Structure 1
């Protein structure tokens, strides 16, 4: 199965996977240039792999949660590519990719509960609660979320995976190996691959903004008075 995945919920990442093998990958930590870097990255990755867009089995997009502008750039790009190439388009919650990394990396014990949290800015965290699978190879189960809120208000007693752990070390019990991690497109594709093989349904690409955009529609102009 040949999948192209994009995620812009935090960093901008692109990955091309054949089954579980990464064929090509791009990542940029600059959160202000998602729209500019995605299309060239996709073009380069496909070209270097000798793959045409129409060869893909699907395009996978991270649907957040994430900031409005960055998340929208990734989703618009993914939707456009899927439409132009005529291939299926699937959505995966971006936090699922981090939960998958934590489980496959052995950072959380089998059957245990844990949190995933990313930077929501304004002193807040995008987060969700998961349970690690009891059987090797299974995906973690989403227990609660996603939500956005203050780090100090996160449920206690469970370790936290993701960049929020390094941003708010006094408020959360972070997993050191994943304390600076953001969602990655390669892991996103692996989650989608497993779900597709299992015949499970995937999300559409409706974005999980969780907050209103900072941009506001201007009100009517005030009438000038003499």
Structure 2
């Protein structure tokens, strides 16, 4: 087994390789504006670090978000392209679940990432790191009662200390954590249908909009 994992749903552009036992190479860089420029070089780095060629990959894991429109699509399109070119399965995982998997709590907690527009993408997790309910996008003040008293991880939690006073690391998702979560699920008997489809989880409309009123130009 050799899993290639990628995620671009947050400002972290991250890639990793997992051999079924452990993460053998990982690269992460936080840059919210250069997902498209940074992801392929990150994949090249982890392959070089592991001393492997891309054709050794047996499956691809990708974070599906939630995340901003443009950045999120970079990772998903890249994962789909490698999956098609290598003829290997592509497993989708919620990016928030990857953050939860990398955390270390002995009780319920929250994962919150920055959704911009003064909102967060968030979800609650039980003491075992299993998500409780579906991911959502909300203004922090609107969910204050639901997350009161719970520690939190993620960049979104750090942005709003009034709502998330106990914010801890990790701040951004890592592809290594996503790969480890996928391996755990596969070891438990999960199949491709038990993962999320490798499609974007937006939770709201993209920032970019098609203009509603075009200027009419009539020929002379």
User: Fold conserved (TM > 0.5)?
Assistant: yes
Distance 2:58 2:24 in 1: 14
Distance in 2, matches of 1:173 and 1:91, equals 31
Distance 2:167 2:158 in 1: 9
Alignment of 1:39-54 (within 5 A): 39-54=40-55
Q: CA RMSD in A?
A: 1.8
How far, CA to CA, are the matches of 2:215 and 2:157 in structure 1? 47
Aligned to 1:114: 109
Equivalent in the alignment of 2:155: 163
Kept in 2: contact 1:117–1:128 (CA 8 A): yes
Which position in structure 2 is the counterpart of 1:136? none
Correspondence 1:215 to 2:208: yes
- How many residue pairs align between the two structures? 212
TM-score normalised by L of structure 1 = 0.87
Q: CA deviation at 1:203?
A: 1.3
Task: Render the CA deviation track for 1:92-141: whole Å, top value 9, x for unaligned.
Answer: 10001111111xx3xx21xx3211101111111000111022xxxxxx21
Paired position in structure 1 for 2:137: 148
Structure 2: distance between partners of 1:167 and 1:220: 37
**Where does structure 1 lack aligned partners over 5 or more consecutive residues?**
134-139
How far 1:67 sits from its partner (Å)?
0.5
**Is 1:32 aligned to 2:27, yes or no?**
no
Contact kept? 2:108, 2:150, Cα under 8 Å: yes
Structure 1: how far apart are the matches of 2:68 and 2:183? 26
Q: Provide the C-alpha distance between the structure 1 equivalents of 2:53 and 2:25, rounded to a whole number of angstroms.
A: 13
* 2:57 aligned partner: 56
Which residue pairs with 2:185 in the alignment? 195
Instruction: Indicate the SS of the match to 1:82.
Output: helix
Which residue of the partner structure matches residue 9 of structure 2? 9
Q: TM-score scaled by structure 2?
A: 0.90
**Other-structure match for 1:137:** none
